[in-house]
């Protein structure tokens, strides 16, 4: 399983960012929905 990082956003909620996908160049920040973070966002 990939490693996940807990990031606190200004919206006062915690989201999981997949470092694997992040390094691949996936823009999770560009997506409004963080539900699919780590999956097929």
Report pLDDT for 41: 42
Report pLDDT for 9: 57
Alpha carbon of residue 18 to chain centroid: 5
pLDDT tens per residue, range 1-41:
456 666 655 554 445 666 666 555 555 555 545 555 555 44
pTM confidence score: 0.17
Report pLDDT for 13: 46
- For residue 21 the two structure tokens come to 């996908």
- For residue 11 the two structure tokens come to 């919206």
Report pLDDT for 21: 62
């Amino acid at each position: 399983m990939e490693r996940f990082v807990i990031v606190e956003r200004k919206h006062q909620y915690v989201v999981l960012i997949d470092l694997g996908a992040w390094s691949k160049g996936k823009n999770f920040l560009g997506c409004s929905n963080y539900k699919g973070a780590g999956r097929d966002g």
